[in-house]
């Protein structure tokens, strides 16, 4: 509270307004109205999160009602670009699952401006936040994920089509709250099962553009990390990864190759494969065991019972492995369940009868949708002259680069796209950032060296370089000026 003021209100960048004098109160009200009229909804402004470092950019959070009749609403968190936000594009980020939070994952564990502190009670700056390159929008989708909800129980039985349509309605209504972004360049990004979410959303937006005589989405690119694109290539790639990294024996690896026909593999158990194949897959999973993080086989694991006790005792739960805090997800979950944090984010407005969690068990998400082949939709996107980047952390065994690279090459072949950048190393800070190839100036496949399934989480600097290149329409650099030999 400012000295000498009876009561104050913070009005974003307008500073503090004290209502000691009527004329000042009138000016303050005018400032609030003006602030909202500029395309920034004052009611969604996040003034400051508990324990947050001071920053110069604005952040907003709140709800968009996508189905008023059913009471279905999606929660979002939006952060302005760090510098010159009025000149930067808008990037949407979605995590996968299906059923995992983009706010918890993308925003507060991977690529957003803040990470939780080791005691789960405050925040620290992420110096490699993607808002250095773009304005970023995170959405908890579908309803039932995180703080997104519905007042109609049947809405928790859902699938890809409904998720894409809700996100379409969300974006239309979000633009009503932030009208200055309507004409801004839009980049659609995400990871994992967002390999389904993002292409299908892009298709819905393109269909809107084709029939609209007015507003059109200004889609400038699609980028998906370690994405599920087609089961019959992504699933066998997991077991190829296990074998090539010495995580299963030759005998088990050969048994899987000989016994399993993955062409008919389905997401739901028993996966539509033979008993002998299922037995081989089970044996492989047992050998790999639970003491390895399948999302990054290099990182050590965090033990929940230990970290949860440390958080309760106000101790630091941080455990560093290869430069990464492998307990960050527990620290974040603790932070998100603090009442003062939910209040600051305008979250949990209906007092949900369960705690916030990264991935929900309350959804009945279609098993059959995961079987869909995403390549035809990516083909449609590229035919609309929208660049598509597929990037892969090379330490991920869940959706390994081995499958994604093959699928991108197949997509390029189907589109008759010629190689415009031969497969080779790309560089960041005079070191190899990964390997990259490009087809027809529209389709790019890139690996990120030393990265997990969640690329920005384990390789933040390389991930930011990749994202910045993507939104700026630049190729990843294929050389370094610093000599490596005398």
Q: Read off the pLDDT of each residue in 42-61 and give the average, rounded to a whole number.
A: 97
- Between CA 125 and CA 103 the distance in angstroms is 16
Query: What residues are paired with 346 via a beta bridge?
Result: none
- Assess whether pLDDT exceeds 90 at residue 8: no
- Between CA 230 and CA 370 the distance in angstroms is 8
Least confident residue range of 106-110, 318-322, 344-348, 447-451: 318-322
Active site residue 296: no
Q: What is the pLDDT of residue 270?
A: 87
- pLDDT tens column, 161-171: 999 999 999 99
Q: What is the pLDDT of residue 481?
A: 72
Q: What is the pLDDT of residue 483?
A: 59
Q: What is the pLDDT of residue 361?
A: 86
- pLDDT tens column, 226-273: 999 999 999 999 999 999 999 999 999 999 999 999 998 999 988 999
Print burial letters for 88-102: b (CB count within 10 Å at least 16), e (below 16): bbbbbbbbbbbbbbb
**Third-level CATH fold of 42-229+311-472:** Rossmann fold (3.40.50)
- Between CA 344 and CA 74 the distance in angstroms is 17
**Average pLDDT along the chain:** 92
Active site residue 244: no
Active site residue 453: yes
Q: Delimit the domains of the chain by residue range.
A: 42-229+311-472, 248-288
**Which of 405, 309, 291, 329 shows the shortest CA–CA distance to 109?**
329
- Assess whether pLDDT exceeds 80 at residue 11: no
- pLDDT tens column, 357-383: 999 988 999 999 999 999 999 999 999
- Assess whether pLDDT exceeds 50 at residue 3: no
Residues in Cβ contact with 157 at an 8 Å cutoff, skipping those fewer than 6 apart: 363, 364
- pLDDT tens column, 137-168: 999 999 999 999 999 999 999 999 999 999 99
Q: Which of 148, 150, 192, 366 is catalytic?
A: 192
Q: What is the pLDDT of residue 485?
A: 56
- Between CA 99 and CA 399 the distance in angstroms is 17
């Amino acid at each position: 509270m400012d000295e000498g003021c009876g009561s104050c209100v913070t009005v974003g960048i307008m500073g503090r307004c004290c209502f000691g004098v009527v004329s000042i109160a009138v000016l303050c009200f005018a400032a609030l109205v003006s602030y909202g009229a500029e395309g920034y909804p004052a009611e969604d402004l996040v003034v400051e999160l508990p324990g947050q470092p001071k920053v110069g950019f604005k952040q907003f959070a709140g709800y968009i009602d996508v189905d008023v009749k059913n009471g279905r609403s999606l929660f979002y968190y939006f952060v302005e670009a760090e510098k010159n936000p009025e000149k930067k594009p808008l990037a949407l980020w979605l995590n996968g699952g299906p059923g995992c939070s983009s706010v918890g994952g993308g925003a507060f564990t991977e690529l957003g401006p803040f990470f939780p502190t080791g005691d789960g009670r405050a925040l620290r700056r992420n110096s490699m936040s993607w808002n250095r390159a773009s304005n970023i929008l995170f959405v908890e989708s579908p309803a039932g994920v995180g703080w997104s909800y519905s007042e109609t129980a049947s809405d928790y039985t859902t699938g890809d089509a409904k998720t894409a349509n809700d996100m379409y309605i969300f974006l239309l209504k979000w633009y009503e709250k932030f009208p200055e972004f309507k004409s801004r360049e839009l980049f659609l990004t995400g990871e994992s099962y967002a390999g389904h979410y993002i292409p299908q959303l892009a298709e819905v937006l393109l269909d809107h553009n084709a029939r609209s005589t007015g507003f059109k989405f200004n889609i400038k690119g699609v980028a998906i990390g370690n994405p599920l694109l087609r089961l019959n290539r992504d699933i066998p790639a997991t077991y190829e990864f296990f074998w090539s990294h010495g995580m299963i024996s030759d005998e088990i690896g050969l048994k899987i190759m000989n016994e399993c026909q993955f062409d008919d593999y389905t997401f739901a158990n028993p996966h539509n494969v033979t008993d002998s194949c299922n037995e081989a897959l089970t044996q492989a999973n047992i050998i790999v065991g639970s003491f390895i993080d399948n999302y990054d086989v290099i990182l050590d694991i965090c033990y929940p019972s230990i970290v949860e006790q440390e958080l309760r005792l106000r101790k630091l739960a941080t455990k560093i492995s290869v430069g990464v805090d492998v307990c960050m997800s527990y620290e974040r979950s603790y932070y998100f369940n603090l009442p003062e944090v939910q209040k600051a984010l305008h979250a949990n407005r209906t007092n949900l009868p369960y705690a916030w969690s990264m991935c929900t068990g309350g959804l009945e998400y279609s098993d059959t949708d995961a079987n869909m082949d995403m390549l035809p939709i990516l083909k449609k996107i590229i035919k609309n002259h929208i660049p598509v980047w597929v990037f892969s952390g090379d330490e991920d065994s869940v959706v390994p680069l081995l499958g994604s690279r093959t699928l991108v090459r197949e997509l390029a072949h189907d589109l008759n796209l010629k190689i415009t950048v031969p497969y080779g190393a790309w560089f960041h800070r005079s070191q190899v950032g990964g390997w990259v190839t490009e087809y027809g100036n529209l389709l790019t496949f890139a690996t990120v060296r030393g990265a997990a399934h969640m690329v920005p989480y384990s390789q933040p600097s390389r991930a930011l370089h990749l994202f910045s290149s993507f939104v700026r329409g630049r190729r990843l650099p294929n050389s370094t000026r610093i000599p490596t030999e005398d």
